[in-house]
Structure 1
Amino acid sequence: MSKIGFIGLGIMGRPMAGHLMAAGHELVTYVKGGSLNNELAEKGMVALDSPKAVAEQAEIIITMVPDTPDVEEVLLGEQGVIEGLKPGTLVIDMSSIAPIPTQAIAKRITDAGGEFLDAPVSGGEGGAINAALTIMVGGPEASFQRALPVLEVMGKTITLIGDHGAGQICKVANQIVVALTIQATAEGLLFASKAGADVSKVREALLGGLAQSKILDVHGERMINRTFDPGFRIRLHQKDLNLALESARTLDLSLPGTANAQQLFQGCAANGGADWDHAGLVRALEELANHEIGS
Structure 2
Amino acid sequence: MALPHVAWIGLGVMGSPMAENLIRAGYPVTGYTLEAHKLDRLAARGGTPAASVREAVQRADVVVTMLPADAQVTAVAHGTDGTGGVLEHARPRTLFIDMSTVAPATATALAKAAAPHGVRVLDAPVSGGEAGAVEGTLSVMAGGDRADFEEALPLFRALGTTVVHCGPHGAGQTVKAANQLMVAAHLQACAEAVVFLRAAGVDLDAALDVLGGGLAASAVLARKRDNFVRRHHPPGFRVDLHHKDLGIVTAAARETGVVLPLGGLLATLMAAARAQGDGGLDHSALLRGVERLSGVAT
TM-score band by shorter chain is over 0.9
CA drift of 1:83 comes to: 1.1
Tell me the amino acid that sits aligned with residue 252 of structure 2. Answer: S
Q: Is 1:211–2:216 an aligned residue pair?
A: yes
Q: Report what 1:172 is aligned to.
A: 177
What is the CA–CA distance in structure 1 between the aligned matches of 2:225 and 2:233, rounded to whole Å?
A: 11
CA drift of 1:252 comes to: 2.6
The answer for unaligned runs of 5 or more in structure 1 is: none
Secondary structure (helix, strand or coil) at the match of 2:237 reads: coil
Q: Report what 1:91 is aligned to.
A: 96
- Show CA shifts across 1:136-186 (max 9, x none): 000111100100011110110000000000000000000000001111111
What is the CA–CA distance in structure 2 between the aligned matches of 1:15 and 1:210, rounded to whole Å?
A: 32
Structure 1 vs Structure 2 CA RMSD: 1.4
Q: Report what 1:45 is aligned to.
A: 47
Q: Which residue of 241, 244, 247 maps to 1:236? A: 241
What is the CA–CA distance in structure 2 between the aligned matches of 1:274 and 1:146, rounded to whole Å?
A: 37
Figure out how many residues of one structure are paired with residues of the other and give that number: 293
CA contact (8 A) 1:68 1:97 kept: yes
Aligned-residue identity in percent: 38
Q: Is 1:117–2:122 an aligned residue pair?
A: yes
Q: Report what 2:61 is aligned to.
A: 59
* Bigger Cα displacement from structure 2, 120-129 vs 224-233: 224-233
CA contact (8 A) 2:42 2:49 kept: no
Query: What are the within-5 Å matches in structure 2 for residues 1-80 of structure 1?
Result: 1-32=3-34, 34-77=36-79, 78-80=83-85
CA contact (8 A) 1:55 1:85 kept: yes
CA drift of 1:33 comes to: 5.7
* Bigger Cα displacement from structure 2, 187-196 vs 155-164: 187-196
Q: 1:162 to 1:224 in 2, by over 3 A?
A: same
Tell me the amino acid that sits aligned with residue 24 of structure 1. Answer: G
What is the CA–CA distance in structure 1 between the aligned matches of 2:24 and 2:208, rounded to whole Å?
A: 37
TM-score w.r.t. length of structure 2: 0.94
Structure 1 residue ranges, 4+ long, deviating more than 4 angstroms after superposition: none
CA contact (8 A) 1:51 1:75 kept: no
* Bigger Cα displacement from structure 2, 77-86 vs 170-179: 77-86
CA drift of 1:11 comes to: 0.3
The answer for unaligned runs of 5 or more in structure 2 is: none
